């Protein structure tokens, strides 16, 4: 988040990443309101621009070209993104419920969750059909169908719903399938007597376009059932189809009607002229999920786009004690309709016209809209001091997570200067993952770990920080016991402190309880930025697994990909893909206790964290008096990390890691990633070579992306790699 000298005092919550909210985020990044903490919640890390959906179906666009990257946009806006589905709004309490996360509080909120085109009342549709909205599941199902057609399946598809959206889809499908097989059988089904019942002016042109595309039109008929082989009609006829799409109108998400808020008969939130939900002072709604009671309009993205500046101004007004103003939507707008190939029809004010030039116009308008979110303006950096002390530690922003650790050379030198342990109840000295102590004849592992903020979602950060700290306990073969938590929050009001601490403790507590440990206390404070840490104990029921037992010939197993440091560094700079970041954070929230159990017989083990894979492998080599050879091609890498490393993205501590654990052989970005600092990284184990294949298989069976990445050599103490 773009931290302000003004303490945070109000929570603004954007529920959904629809067009209006996306534009609000962009405008907020250019002119934030000091003291307001902005949060956006969406089930996905990207939000679709559905105006380009027919072009995607026809093959004119790649999927990423019509997706707004909410991760990158939230970073630009100084907002936190919570990837999750809101299932409930409690306007009286000022909170929403997020599936899997519990309650998130707010002072002011806005809803822009769009619509869907599912057909739950049509038998078989949920099992065998796919709604055109939301885009994600539809795009995946369409690509899967295209794959089946390429393998020989019949190019037969049906679209239920003969409005403009259904017509565009049908012609786009015909164009794409003809490009694969040379033929297509597309059927457009409409219950009314005519297609495009709300567009009489351009209906004749649309009918001619469908005929030219080879789209069969069936009107005045009800669908009885969707089956695995097509669509059964109420008159007894069947339409053969391997792909059935639903585009019969815009439907409100069902959970909105269960909020107790005022909705229309068909479930859309009723809003007034200033976009506030009727009867609510601090709750707004915009986009297709909202019904403008003062100026009803059809569901179209153009109204959400025009509403965005008014919504932004009114949100700021309520947050800061100002006055709201009204949104006046235009009465008509230019409708551009794709015809499958690169041609389009246009209609406005009762006039219709068409041709390839209109496709180019539509394409230019769509790309210009999307460019707002891919080419965001560079904000001016604060000026540096005119005079400063000698010395240079670089000007790049400090990374979060384990990328912010003190350099390994500095840490090892300080530890080497410590006096030898003289207490008989402390069984280990500096150098391993954690200390081993004895209390009343019982051996315990004692460890501590702390992470600088790497995401504005404190719940996700707390869960990952807890699992990161548990890595040391698991690596030594101990069972987690108790935890102390240490939290630093940015300056904020008591209300926001309470909300933040509730999220942190809920997620950290859940992760620790699942591992068998409980939080027994801790410490909290406020500071310049967020950080979360844990001190943990674990019980040893057998001899600890240390870094000192590796033998020549042992296989090296890694339970998790590398590259988190590069991804988090790129995300901080607004360079990473939102999908890649969401995928990374999802893996980092997976516990590794079951992996430690599978690797309980390892001769040496550690968890890969801030010093990178090479640094932690070197710790095993030094303690065991052996060398190691790494097969670069076998080391798993997080999606997106290799491309970013090839582009020169590096974490803050990367150079120090490389100097502390040099690697011989190999070249390029893959070798560079051996020094990438890992947050909540995988377990690295030296195991009997004869057991390695079976162990990797077991690890993969329980969900870990494990791999055998090399072997231990007789010496000298060094790491080499082969490409």
Q: pLDDT (tens digit, 9 = 90+) per residue, 25-43?
A: 999 999 999 999 999 999 9
User: What is 10-115+252-329's CATH superfamily?
Assistant: FAD/NAD(P)-binding domain (3.50.50.60)
Burial 527-538 (b: 16+ CB within 10 A, else e): eeebbbbbbbbb
Q: Output the average pLDDT for the chain.
A: 92
Mean pLDDT of 158-183: 95
**662-683: per-residue pLDDT in tens?**
999 988 999 999 999 999 999 9
Mean pLDDT of 643-661: 93
- Measured between alpha carbons, how far is 673 from 634 in angstroms, rounded to an integer? 13
Q: Would you put residue 340 in left (φ > 0), alpha (ψ -120 to 50) or beta?
A: left
3.90.650.10, 2.130.10.10, 3.40.50.2000, 2.60.40.10: CATH of 546-723? 3.90.650.10
**249: confidence class by pLDDT, cuts 50, 70, 90:** confident
Q: 389 vs 267, which has greater pLDDT?
A: 267
721 carries an active-site annotation: no
Mean pLDDT of 595-616: 96
Q: What percent of the chain has pLDDT over 70?
A: 94
Partners of 346 in beta bridges: 336, 353
**57-68: per-residue pLDDT in tens?**
999 999 999 999
Q: Confirm if 608 and 678 have CB atoms less than 8 A apart.
A: yes
pLDDT for res 1: 46
pLDDT for res 415: 61
CB-neighbour burial class of residue 413 (10 A; exposed 0-12, middle 13-18, buried 19+): exposed
Sheet of 80-83: strands edge to edge?
A: 80-83, 36-42, 10-15, 108-111, 283-285
**297-332: per-residue pLDDT in tens?**
888 878 889 999 999 999 999 999 999 999 999 887
Say if residue 599's pLDDT is above 50: yes
Q: Is 19 helix (H, G, I), strand (E, B) or coil?
A: helix
- Measured between alpha carbons, how far is 442 from 707 in angstroms, rounded to an integer? 34
User: What is 433-543's CATH superfamily?
Assistant: PurM-like, N-terminal domain (3.30.1330.10)
Task: Output the CA angle 334-337-341, nearest 5 degrees.
Answer: 140
**354-366: per-residue pLDDT in tens?**
888 999 999 999 9
Which helix (DSSP H) or strand (DSSP E) does residue 54 occupy?
helix 53-58
The answer for residues whose C-beta is within 8 angstroms of residue 149's C-beta and 6 or more apart is 155, 177, 180, 181, 242
Catalytic residue among 210, 399, 402, 721: 402
Mean pLDDT of 688-696: 97
Determine which of 4-13, 148-157, 221-230, 481-490 has the lowest per-residue pLDDT on average: 4-13
Say if residue 659's pLDDT is above 50: yes
**186-198: per-residue pLDDT in tens?**
999 999 999 998 8
Say if residue 558's pLDDT is above 50: yes
Say if residue 2's pLDDT is above 60: no
* Max Cα distance, the chain (Å): 93
**447-485: per-residue pLDDT in tens?**
999 898 889 999 999 999 999 999 999 999 999 999 999
Start-to-end CA span in the chain (Å): 39
Q: Is 312 helix (H, G, I), strand (E, B) or coil?
A: helix
pLDDT for res 408: 67
Say if residue 74's pLDDT is above 70: yes
pLDDT for res 401: 64
Question: Which residue ranges make up each domain of the chain?
Answer: 10-115+252-329, 125-246, 433-543, 546-723
CATH annotation of 125-246: 3.50.50.60
Partners of 131 in beta bridges: 246
**422: confidence class by pLDDT, cuts 50, 70, 90:** low
- Measured between alpha carbons, how far is 540 from 537 in angstroms, rounded to an integer? 10
- Measured between alpha carbons, how far is 681 from 584 in angstroms, rounded to an integer? 11
Q: Is 658 helix (H, G, I), strand (E, B) or coil?
A: helix
Say if residue 393's pLDDT is above 70: no
Name the one residue in this structure whose structure tokens are 């773009």: 2
Asked, colleague to colleague, whether 125-246 and 433-543 share their fold, the answer is no
Name the one residue in this structure whose structure tokens are 């209390």: 439
Single pTM value for the model:
0.91
């Amino acid at each position: 988040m773009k931290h302000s000298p003004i303490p945070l005092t109000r929570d603004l919550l954007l529920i959904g990443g629809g067009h209006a909210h996306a534009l609000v985020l962009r405008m907020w990044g250019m002119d934030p309101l000091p003291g307001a903490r902005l949060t956006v919640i969406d089930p996905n890390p990207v939000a679709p621009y559905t105006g380009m959906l027919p072009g995607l179906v026809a093959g004119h666009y790649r999927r990423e070209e019509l997706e707004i990257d909410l991760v990158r946009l939230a970073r630009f806006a100084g907002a936190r993104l919570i990837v999750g589905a809101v299932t409930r709004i409690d306007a009286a309490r000022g909170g929403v419920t997020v599936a899997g996360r519990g309650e998130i509080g707010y002072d002011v909120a806005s809803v822009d969750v769009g619509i869907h085109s599912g057909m739950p009342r049509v038998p078989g549709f949920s099992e065998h059909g796919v709604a055109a909205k939301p885009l994600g599941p539809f795009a995946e199902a369409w690509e899967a169908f295209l794959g089946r057609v390429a393998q020989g399946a019949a190019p037969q598809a049906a679209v239920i719903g003969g409005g403009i959206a259904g017509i565009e889809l049908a012609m786009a499908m015909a164009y794409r399938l003809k490009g694969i097989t040379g033929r297509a059988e597309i059927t457009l089904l409409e219950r009314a007597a005519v297609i495009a019942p709300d567009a009489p002016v351009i209906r004749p042109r649309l009918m001619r376009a469908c005929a030219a595309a080879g789209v069969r039109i069936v009107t005045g008929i009800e669908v009885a059932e969707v089956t695995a082989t097509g669509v059964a009609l109420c008159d007894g006829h069947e339409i053969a189809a391997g792909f059935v799409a639903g585009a019969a109108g815009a439907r409100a998400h069902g959970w909105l009607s269960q909020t107790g808020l005022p909705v229309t008969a068909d479930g859309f939130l009723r809003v007034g002229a200033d976009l506030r939900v009727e009867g609510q002072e601090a709750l707004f709604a915009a986009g297709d999920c909202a019904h403008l009671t003062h100026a009803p309009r059809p569901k179209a993205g153009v109204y959400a786009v025009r509403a965005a500046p008014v919504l932004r101004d009114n949100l700021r007004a309520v947050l800061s004690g100002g006055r709201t103003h009204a949104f006046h939507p235009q009465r008509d707008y230019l409708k551009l309709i794709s015809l499958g190939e690169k041609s389009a029809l246009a209609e406005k004010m009762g006039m219709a016209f068409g041709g390839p030039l209109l496709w180019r116009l539509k394409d230019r308008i769509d790309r210009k809209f999307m460019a707002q979110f891919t080419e965001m303006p560079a904000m001016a950096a604060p000026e540096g001091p005119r005079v400063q002390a000698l010395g240079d530690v670089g000007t790049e922003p400090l990374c979060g997570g384990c990328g912010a650790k003190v350099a390994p050379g500095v840490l090892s030198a300080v530890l080497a200067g410590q006096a030898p342990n003289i207490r008989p109840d402390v069984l280990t000295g500096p150098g391993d993952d954690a200390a081993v102590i004895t209390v009343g004849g019982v051996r315990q592992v004692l460890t501590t770990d702390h992470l600088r903020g790497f995401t504005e979602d404190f719940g996700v950060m707390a869960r990952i920080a807890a699992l990161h700290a548990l890595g040391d306990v698991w690596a030594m073969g101990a069972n987690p016991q108790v935890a102390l938590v240490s939290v630093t929050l940015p300056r904020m009001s008591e209300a926001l402190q309470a909300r933040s601490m509730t999220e942190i403790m809920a997620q950290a507590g859940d992760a620790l309880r699942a591992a068998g440990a409980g939080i027994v206390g801790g410490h909290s404070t406020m500071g310049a930025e967020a950080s979360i840490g844990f001190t943990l104990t674990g019980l040893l029921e057998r001899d600890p697994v240390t870094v000192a037992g590796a033998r020549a010939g042992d296989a090296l197993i890694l339970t998790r990909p590398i590259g988190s440091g590069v991804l988090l560094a790129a995300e901080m700079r607004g360079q990473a893909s939102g999908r890649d970041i969401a995928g990374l954070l999802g893996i980092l929230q997976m516990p590794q206790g079951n992996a430690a159990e599978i690797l309980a017989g390892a001769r040496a083990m550690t968890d890969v964290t801030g010093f990178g894979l090479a640094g932690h492998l070197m710790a095993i080599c030094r303690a065991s008096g052996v060398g190691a050879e790494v097969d670069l091609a076998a080391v798993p890498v997080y999606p997106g990390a290799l491309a970013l490393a090839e582009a020169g993205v590096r974490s803050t501590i990367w150079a120090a890691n490389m100097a502390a654990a040099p690697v011989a052989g190999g070249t390029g970005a893959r070798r560079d990633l051996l020094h990438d600092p890992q947050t909540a990284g995988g377990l690295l184990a030296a195991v009997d070579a004869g057991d390695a294949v079976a162990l990797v298989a077991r690890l993969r069976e329980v969900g870990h992306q494990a791999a055998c990445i090399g072997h231990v050599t007789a010496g000298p103490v060094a790491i080499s790699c082969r490409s």
